């Protein structure tokens, strides 16, 4: 059977028909169907005015809908909503669904003009006999009005008034219903009703209900499915199948009532209705997670959510942005690259356990655009049931147990849902390096460094205040206090603390801070940067997104771009708005090329020797004083990434020493020992299949050469020591061979001697490499002559 034809009537015809049916008596009967508080003040004149003094139809705000997040490939990975709803046209709803809702809620929908007197009286009799609500007493138009008034309510009081069982509310609904019947066709009213109605199980509107209950669009609903949804509208909470089996059975009973009513009204044949009643409900509740906890990429989702609330590009005021997000109905095309995201997640999961209190976090950003390609962390985003710490609450946390999940965005700053972050360590040396190169320093230019350094003079912040610290004594990462000549190149590759403290003193603390700010550096907690002598050693707490964006600027030849997660907004009416990158020139191109040249040496001559992604790359390790945290930040011209590792319970209270992370034991975690391998693994996978892009060669006429006192002598001593070491290795190998030959005989001695020598050399080199890596990394080791709060 098909839907009954729509009859469009003008206002005059509607009025005449109402009068002919006996309006006053019908209206009173309709009011009698409600639980009344009293009838005082209800007069014939009051009733008459409902027909002669109609208000405009109620204001219709856009219905709350889902805001959908799409990755760069157009695939949905998250959604926000206050009401799970997708608005559809009537043509997108199966005809059988339209018939079912009309049959059970307002069978005379196409015949009345907003008030169905016969239907109201019939429902009153039917419901009284049954002892329960089996048929609706209000017309669909009246129900639509009620839902609109509830949606328009801005407070609990207004919502209570919109639902109050009073005569005055019923009269107001009727007047608005009559006004709506004048304004809209029956098809338009039915479409609005199907989109606003609540069906239970968190589904608002027929499209969301069809997806939630049966995992199909509303256009493909079958007769049993349509009858089920139509049966749920009257009592959505009492028939919610997601709550318990009793409510599910109640929903089945309601479905059968709808089918009987459809057969009675000849929408379907009795045989078809009986056949549908014999079928099981076949509810297949489809999860419709809202918010970031249900997203497959929760940290990126959380970043987008906070960006919508804090960025003025999405609304002039926070209240305006909150309203926009609550109403939803928009599609956000984001910068997330699934390939890079999976690479980061897998690299972290392979080395750091979800239940470890030590957490790893990584952000990947495209140089030249600021587009965030990935955000991953070792902990799952969500609440803990056991009450353990849920995030990095700073270095003074009193917690002693970290939960398996977190409610903090471990990859981002506080403005985007993150915590206080971790000190960035010697990754900050790159800003001093860039400042020195901009001021005319050359690659081989340097000076003699002492065994220790006291920053007692020469440090002035950007407000012109002297910030010297005569009580601090700085040592190199190994702690042995050994000095010697260091150039810009060797000091960078070996990450020499004293060299960089003295270099910062010579180029100026404020110029270094200015360079860092130009490259987007800001503290994770939003407070001003600490402009102190140890700025170059990374005493400021940072987040991976901020650090990755700064290093991406080097990959983009000095062009810094603010991190961005949204590239396009598609409004509910189909309008599209592109979000352009926000970029600026942070440092000269030539300076960036020179920085890239030196930081590329970190992989071949410095703290990351032996680790590679198989293509040109540059980067910097970072390990903090007392091993409180560890970092690696690196980049190619195509992609930049920063990895941080620290204890979620508080980095000062729980340093990264004598710890087991994942399946590996660490005496101490440095930038090259855990963050570095995570970076290498994730970047290799993320860039797999991408054409290799090389860095620009530096201007050697501007940056090449330079002189460092004592450097030639120091290099000669190193060559001599290396030669003696090799000779000693040869002699020890020969002696071992002779002893072995005496014990075994001479046959095969030459081959055995060579094999054993190679094995012994490999063992020595590996041991020496591990010892050097343990101490040479880039921590800001300090020893204080007097006790001072907050330092070790």
pLDDT digits (tens, 9 = 90+) for 414-456: 999 999 999 999 999 999 999 999 999 999 999 999 999 999 9
From the centroid of its chain, how far is CA 741?
65
| Banded model confidence at residue 118, pLDDT cuts 50, 70, 90 | low
Angle between helices 23-32 and 11-20 (to 10 degrees): 80
Q: CB-side exposure of 563: number of CA atoms within 13 Å?
A: 32
> What is the spatial distance between Cα 443 and Cα 703, in angstroms, rounded to a whole number?
6
Predicted confidence at residue 100, as pLDDT, reads: 97
pLDDT category at 641 given cuts 50, 70, 90 is very high
Three-state secondary structure call for residue 464? coil
In this structure, are residues 182 and 259 in contact, taking their beta carbons and an 8 Å threshold?
no
State the DSSP H helix or E strand holding residue 195, giving kind and residue range, or none if neither: helix 186-196
Q: Return d(Cα 230, Cα 254) in angstroms, integer.
A: 8
What are 444's two structure tokens? 């081989």
Question: Which of 264-278, 515-529, 766-780 has the weakest average pLDDT?
Answer: 766-780
Q: pLDDT by residue (tens digit) across 297-334?
A: 999 999 999 998 888 878 889 888 888 887 888 999 99
Residues 654 and 408: their CA atoms lie apart, in Å, by: 19
Please state, in angstroms and as integers, the Cα–Cα distance from residue 183 to each residue in 48, 192, 324, 603, following that order: 21, 13, 27, 72
What confidence score (pLDDT) does residue 4 get?
47
Question: Between 747 and 533, whose confidence is greater?
Answer: 533
Beta strands in 513-656 (DSSP E): 541-542, 559-561, 566-570, 576-578, 583-585, 618-623, 629-635, 640-647
Q: How far apart are CA 326 and CA 328, in angstroms?
A: 5
561 three-class SS: strand
Residue 264, CB-side half-sphere exposure with 13 Å CA sphere: 11
Beta strand 203-204 pairing with 198-200? antiparallel
Range 515-529 average pLDDT: 97
- Enumerate the β-bridge partners of residue 618: 635
Does residue 741 have a pLDDT over 70? no
Compute the distance between CA of residue 676 and CA of residue 633 in angstroms, rounded to an integer. 8
Coil, helix or strand at residue 76: strand
Rounded CA gap, 273 and 4, in Å? 18
Encoded tokens for 575? 């309008």
What's the pLDDT at 499?
A: 96
- Output the pLDDT for position 8: 41
In contact, 364 and 99? CB cutoff 8 Å: no
Distance, in Å, from the CA atom of 162 to the CA atom of 170, rounded to the nearest integer, reads 10
Q: For 274-283, write each residue's pLDDT tens digit.
A: 999 999 999 9
Per the listing, tokens 């008596």 go with: 25
542 token code pair: 């940072």
Residue 342 pLDDT class (50, 70, 90 cuts): very high
Residue 399 pLDDT grade (very low, low, confident, very high; cuts 50, 70, 90): very low
Instruction: Write down the pLDDT at residue 59.
Output: 85
Q: For the chain, what's the residue count?
A: 792
| The pLDDT value given to residue 483 | 85
Q: How far apart are the first and last CA of the chain?
A: 83
User: 233-237, long-range: CB within 8 Å, 24+ apart, which pairs?
Assistant: 233/101, 233/104, 233/105, 233/197, 233/198, 233/199, 234/104, 234/105, 234/133, 234/136, 235/133, 236/198, 236/199, 236/200, 237/200
How many helical (H) and strand (E) elements, i.e. helices and strands, does the chain have?
26, 24
| C-alpha pair distances (Å), 46 with each of 145, 163, 167, 172 | 20, 21, 12, 11
Beta-carbon contacts of 599 under 8 Å, excluding residues fewer than 6 positions away, are 430, 433, 492, 554, 618, 619, 620, 634
Q: What's the DSSP call for residue 90?
A: G
What are the residues whose beta carbons fall under 8 Å from the beta carbon of 729, sequence distance 6 or more? 757, 760, 761, 764
Q: Say if residues 189 and 180 touch (Cβ distance below 8 Å).
A: yes
Token pair belonging to 175: 């007047």
DSSP 62: P
Q: Three-class SS of residue 159? A: helix
Retrieve residue 446's tokens.
């340097």
Percent of the chain with pLDDT over 70: 78
pLDDT digits (tens, 9 = 90+) for 596-629: 999 999 999 999 999 999 999 999 999 888 899 9
Give the closest residue to 524 by CA, choosing from 390, 416, 363.
416
Say what the pLDDT of residue 710 is: 92
Mean pLDDT within 583-594: 98
Confidence of residue 717 (pLDDT cuts 50, 70, 90): confident
Backbone angles phi, psi at 748, to 5 degrees: 75, 15
In this prediction, residues 342-364 reach a mean pLDDT of 96
Compute the distance between CA of residue 404 and CA of residue 380 in angstroms, rounded to an integer. 7
448 compared with 725, residue with greater pLDDT: 448
Q: Say if CB 327 and CB 572 are below 8 A apart.
A: no
Alpha carbon 188 to chain centroid, angstroms: 39
Tens-digit pLDDT profile for residues 47-84: 555 556 777 888 888 888 989 999 999 999 999 888 89
Whole-prediction pTM value? 0.79
Contact between 276 and 223 under an 8 Å Cβ cutoff? The reply is yes
Question: In which band, very low, low, confident or very high, does the pLDDT at 230 lie, cut at 50, 70 and 90?
Answer: very high
Q: Give the 3-state secondary structure of residue 472.
A: strand
Is residue 496 scored above 90 in pLDDT? yes
- pLDDT value at residue 572: 86
Q: Evaluate whether 82 touches 328 at the Cβ level (below 8 Å).
A: yes
CA 267 to chain centre: 49
d(CA 210, CA 386) in angstroms, rounded, equals 36
Angle, alpha carbons 588-591-595 (nearest 5°):
140
Q: Look at strands 331-334 and 203-204 and give their pairing.
A: unpaired
Confidence label for 127 from pLDDT (cuts 50, 70 and 90): low
Strand runs labelled E in 5-61: none
User: Three-class SS string for 50-61?
Assistant: HHHCCCCCCCCC
Q: pLDDT band at residue 383, thresholds of 50, 70 and 90?
A: confident
- Assess contact for 436 and 445: CB atoms under 8 A: no
136 vs 34: CA distance, rounded Å: 11
- The dihedrals phi and psi of 392, each to the nearest 5 degrees, come to -75, 105
Question: For the residues 331-341, what does the mean pLDDT come to?
Answer: 97
Picking from 148, 176, 174, the residue whose alpha carbon sits closest to that of residue 162 is: 148
Give, to the nearest 10 degrees, the angle between helix 186-196 and helix 140-152: 50
Note the pLDDT of residue 630: 95
Angle at 667 between CA 626 and CA 378, to 5 degrees: 85
Q: Which of 17-26, 73-82, 119-128, 584-593 has the highest mean pLDDT?
A: 584-593
Question: Percent helix, strand, coil in the chain (nearest 5)?
Answer: 45, 15, 40
The HSE-up count of residue 784 (CA atoms within 13 Å, CB side) is 11
Most confident of the ranges 18-22, 48-52, 226-230, 352-356 = 226-230
Rounded CA-CA distance 299/381 in Å is 7
Question: Is the model's pLDDT at 785 over the cut of 60?
Answer: no
Distance, in Å, from the CA atom of 162 to the CA atom of 151, rounded to the nearest integer, reads 9
């Amino acid at each position: 059977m098909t839907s009954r034809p729509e009859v469009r009537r003008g206002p005059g015809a509607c009025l005449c028909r109402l009068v002919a049916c006996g309006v006053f008596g019908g209206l009173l009967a309709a009011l009698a169907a409600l639980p009344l508080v009293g009838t005082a003040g209800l007069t014939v004149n009051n009733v008459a005015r409902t027909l002669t003094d109609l208000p405009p139809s109620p204001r219709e705000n856009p219905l709350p809908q889902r805001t959908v997040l799409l990755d760069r490939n157009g695939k949905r990975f998250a959604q926000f909503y206050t009401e799970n709803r997708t608005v559809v046209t009537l043509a997108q709803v199966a005809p059988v669904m339209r018939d079912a809702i009309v049959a059970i809620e307002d069978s005379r929908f196409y015949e009345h003009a907003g008030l169905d007197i016969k239907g109201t009286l019939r429902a009153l009799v039917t419901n009284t006999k049954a002892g329960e609500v089996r048929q609706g007493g209000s017309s669909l138009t009246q129900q639509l009005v009620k839902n609109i008034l509830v949606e328009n309510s801005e407070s609990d009081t207004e919502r209570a008034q919109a639902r109050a069982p009073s005569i005055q509310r019923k009269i107001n609904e009727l007047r608005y219903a009559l006004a709506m019947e004048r304004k809209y066709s029956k098809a338009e009213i039915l479409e609005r009703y199907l989109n606003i109605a609540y069906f239970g199980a968190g589904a608002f509107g027929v499209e969301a209900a069809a997806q939630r209950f049966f995992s199909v669009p509303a256009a493909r609903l079958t007769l049993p499915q349509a009858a089920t949804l139509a049966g749920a509208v009257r009592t959505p909470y009492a028939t919610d199948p997601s709550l318990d089996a009793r409510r599910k059975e109640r929903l089945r009973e309601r479905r059968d009532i709808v089918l009987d009513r459809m057969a009675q009204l000849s929408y379907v044949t009795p045989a078809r209705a009986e056949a549908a009643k014999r079928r099981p409900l076949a509810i297949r509740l489809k999860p419709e997670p809202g918010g970031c906890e249900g997203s497959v990429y929760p940290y990126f989702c959380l970043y987008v959510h906070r960006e919508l609330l804090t960025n003025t590009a999405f609304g002039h005021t926070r209240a305006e942005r909150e309203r926009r997000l609550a109403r939803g109905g928009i599609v956000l095309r984001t910068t997330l690259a699934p390939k890079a995201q999976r690479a980061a997640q897998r690299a972290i999961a392979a080395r750091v356990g979800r239940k470890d209190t030590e957490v790893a976090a990584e952000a990947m950003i495209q140089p030249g655009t600021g587009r965030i390609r990935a955000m991953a962390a070792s902990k799952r985003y969500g609440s803990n049931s056991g009450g353990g710490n849920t995030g990095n609450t700073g270095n003074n946390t009193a917690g002693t147990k970290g939960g398996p999940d977190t409610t903090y965005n471990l990859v981002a700053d506080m403005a985007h849902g993150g915590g206080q972050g971790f000190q960035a360590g010697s990754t900050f040396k790159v800003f001093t390096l860039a400042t020195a190169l901009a001021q005319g320093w050359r690659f081989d230019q340097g000076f003699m460094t002492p065994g220790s350094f006291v920053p007692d003079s020469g440090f002035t912040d950007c407000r012109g205040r002297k910030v010297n610290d005569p009580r601090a004594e700085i040592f190199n990462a190994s702690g042995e206090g050994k000095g010697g000549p260091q150039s810009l190149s060797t000091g960078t590759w070996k990450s020499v603390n004293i060299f960089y403290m003295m270099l910062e003193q010579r180029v100026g603390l404020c110029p270094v801070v200015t360079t860092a700010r130009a490259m987007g550096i800001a503290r994770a907690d939003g407070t001003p940067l600490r402009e102190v002598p140890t700025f170059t050693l990374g005493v400021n707490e940072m987040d991976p997104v901020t650090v990755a964006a700064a290093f991406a600027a080097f990959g983009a030849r000095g062009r810094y771009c603010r991190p961005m997660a949204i590239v396009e907004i598609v409004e509910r009416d189909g309008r599209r708005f592109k979000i352009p990158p926000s970029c600026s020139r942070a440092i000269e191109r030539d300076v960036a090329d020179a920085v890239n040249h030196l930081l590329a040496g970190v992989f071949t001559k410095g703290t990351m020797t032996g680790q590679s992604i198989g293509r040109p790359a540059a980067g910097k390790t970072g390990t903090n004083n007392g091993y409180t945290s560890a970092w690696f930040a690196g980049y190619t011209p195509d992609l930049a990434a920063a990895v941080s590792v620290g204890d979620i319970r508080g980095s000062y209270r729980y340093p990264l020493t004598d710890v087991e992370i994942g399946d590996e034991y660490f005496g101490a975690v440095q930038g090259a020992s855990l963050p570095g391998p995570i970076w290498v693994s994730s970047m290799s996978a993320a860039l797999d299949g991408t054409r290799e892009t090389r860095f620009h060669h530096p201007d050697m006429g501007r940056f090449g050469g330079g002189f460092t006192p004592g450097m030639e002598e120091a290099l000669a001593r190193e060559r001599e020591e290396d030669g003696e070491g090799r000779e000693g290795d040869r002699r020890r190998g020969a002696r071992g061979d002779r002893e072995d030959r005496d014990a075994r005989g001479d046959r095969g001695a030459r081959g055995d001697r060579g094999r054993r020598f190679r094995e012994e050399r490999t063992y020595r080199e590996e041991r020496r490499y591990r010892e050097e890596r343990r101490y040479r990394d880039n921590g800001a080791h300090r020893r204080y002559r007097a006790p001072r709060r907050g330092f070790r």
